[in-house]
Amino acid sequence: MIRLEKRQQPSRAWSLATPLVAVMATMVMGGLLFAALGKPPIEAIRTIFWEPLFGEFSFYYRPQLLIKGAPLVLIAIGLSLGFKAGIWNIGAEGQYIIGALSGAGVGLAFYPLEAWYVFPLMVLVGALGGWLWAMIPAVLKTKFDTNEILVSLMLVYVAEQLLASMSLGLLKNPQGYGFPGSRNLQQYDSAHNAELIAGTGLHLGVVAALIAVIFAYILLNRHMLGFHIRLTGQAPRAARFAGVNPTRLVLFCLGMSGALAGLAGLFEVSGPAGVVSIDFNVGYGFTAIIVAFLGRLHPVGILLAGALMALTYIGGDIAQSKLGLPSAAIQVFQGMLLFFLLAFDLLTNFRIRFGTPETA
C-alpha cells in the first residue's frame, strides 16, 4: 500500500525538482503516446525540445521563442500576483486586447506624424487600457462583491467583439482596399516596436517581461505589499489581523495584472503582429494562466515556464509539419505537462510511504 503523509515543512528540494521531474515524465509518457500513434517517439520528442533551439532552422525559431515567450511571461507575472492573494483574474485575454486596441489607437491617431513621444504614449495608454478593463471586475468585486472570475472572463468576449468592431470600423486602414484590419504599425516608424537587435526577436516587450520578473521578485520578497499579498493568499484572517485592506489589495492585484496584460498586447500589436485585426489575439491571456501555475507563481519559475511553454508551442508546430503529428496530440502533450506538474507538486507538501495503511 502507498499512502501520503503530510510533511512538517514543505520540502525545498522537491519544490525545485518538481518541474524537472514533471518534464521528464511528460517526455516518457508523451513518447509512449507518439509511439502509439505510429510516430517515432524519440524523434518526436527531439523535434519538440531540440529542433527549435539547436536544429537546422534554429536561426528562425530562436527569435520566435522570445516573441512567443515574452507576452506569456509578462501576463503571467501580473496574474501570479493576484493568484498568490487568491484573486482570480481569468480575463487577461480581454485586457490584452483592450491594451492593444487603445495603444494602437493612439498610434494610429498620430499617423503619419513622426515624433519621439508617439511610442511612449502608446505604451502608457496600452497599459492604461488593460488597467481600466481590469478595474471593471475589481470595482464590481469591491463594491458589490461580484465574482471576479466570471466578470473578468465574460469581459474577454466583450473585448473580442470590440476588437472585431474596431478592426472593421474605426481603426480600419483607409487605404486597405476595404480589407479588415488597421494600418501596419511596422511601417510607421514612430509607432513600431522594432527589434532592438535585428534578427534576435528581442523587442521592448521582452525587456518589459524581464523587468516585470525582477519587479515581481522584489515586490514579493522585499516589500510590505508583496508580503501582504502572500499573507492574504495563505491566511486571509491573519492578513486582516496584520492590517491588510482587502479592497485595496483587490484593486492593486487586478489593476496590475490588467496593466501588464495591456502592455503585452501593445508590444504585440506594435511589433510582431503589426496590425489590429479580428484574429489578432491568439490566446496568450489564457495560456498565461497555465504559465503562472507551471512557474508555481514564482517570478523566476514563470520566466522558465514561459520559455518552456513557448518551446513546446514552436516545437509542436515543427513536429506537426515535419512528422505529421496531429495537433490534438501536441495539445495532449502540453496538457500532460501540466498534469504531471500538479501531480508531482504533491511531493512538496507530502511524502510517500510504503507499508501497511493506517489512519493517524
Residue 325 exposure: Cα atoms within 13 Å on the Cβ side:
29
Is 240 a binding residue for other proteins by CB under 8 A? The answer is: yes
Asked if 103 and 239 count as a contact pair (C-beta separation under 8 A), the reply is no
Out of 53, 224, 342, 343, the residue judged to bind other proteins by CB under 8 A: 224
Is 225 a binding residue for other proteins by CB under 8 A? The answer is: yes
Stretch that binds other proteins, among 2-10, 50-58, 79-87, 168-176 (CB under 8 A): 2-10
3-state secondary structure of 2: strand
Stretch that binds other proteins, among 49-57, 103-111, 119-127, 222-230 (CB under 8 A): 222-230
Q: Which residues contact 60 (CB under 8 A, 6 or more apart)?
A: none
Is 253 a binding residue for other proteins by CB under 8 A? The answer is: no
Is 227 a binding residue for other proteins by CB under 8 A? The answer is: yes
Is 248 a binding residue for other proteins by CB under 8 A? The answer is: no
Is 300 a binding residue for other proteins by CB under 8 A? The answer is: no
Is 245 a binding residue for other proteins by CB under 8 A? The answer is: yes
Instruction: In whole angstroms, give the CA distance from residue 3 to residue 6.
Output: 10
Nearer to other proteins, 210 or 225 (CB): 225
- From residue 202, alpha-carbon distances to 38, 69, 81 in Å are 38, 11, 25
Cell of 332: 495532449
Q: Which residues contact 53 (CB under 8 A, 6 or more apart)?
A: 61, 62, 65, 311
DSSP state string for 55-74: STTHHHHHHHHHHHHHHHHH
Out of 24, 194, 207, 242, the residue judged to bind other proteins by CB under 8 A: 242
Nearer to other proteins, 214 or 235 (CB): 235
Is 175 a binding residue for other proteins by CB under 8 A? The answer is: no
Is 243 a binding residue for other proteins by CB under 8 A? The answer is: yes
Task: Please report how close the Cβ of residue 223 comes to other proteins at its closest, in angstroms.
Answer: 6
Nearer to other proteins, 81 or 206 (CB): 81
Give the distance, in angstroms, between the CA of residue 225 and the centroid of all CA atoms in the same chain: 22
Is 231 a binding residue for other proteins by CB under 8 A? The answer is: yes
Asked if 256 and 78 count as a contact pair (C-beta separation under 8 A), the reply is yes
Asked if 290 and 242 count as a contact pair (C-beta separation under 8 A), the reply is no
Binders in 9-28 for other proteins, by CB under 8 A: 9-10
Is 360 a binding residue for other proteins by CB under 8 A? The answer is: yes
Instruction: In whole angstroms, give the CA distance from residue 75 to residue 156.
Output: 14
Out of 1, 2, 8, 143, the residue judged to bind other proteins by CB under 8 A: 8
Is 241 a binding residue for other proteins by CB under 8 A? The answer is: yes
- Angle subtended at Cα 331 by Cα 254 and Cα 260, rounded to the nearest 5 degrees: 20
Nearer to other proteins, 56 or 358 (CB): 358
Cell of 223: 516589500
Binding-site ranges for other proteins (CB under 8 A): 5, 8-10, 222-225, 227, 230-231, 234-235, 237-243, 245, 358-360
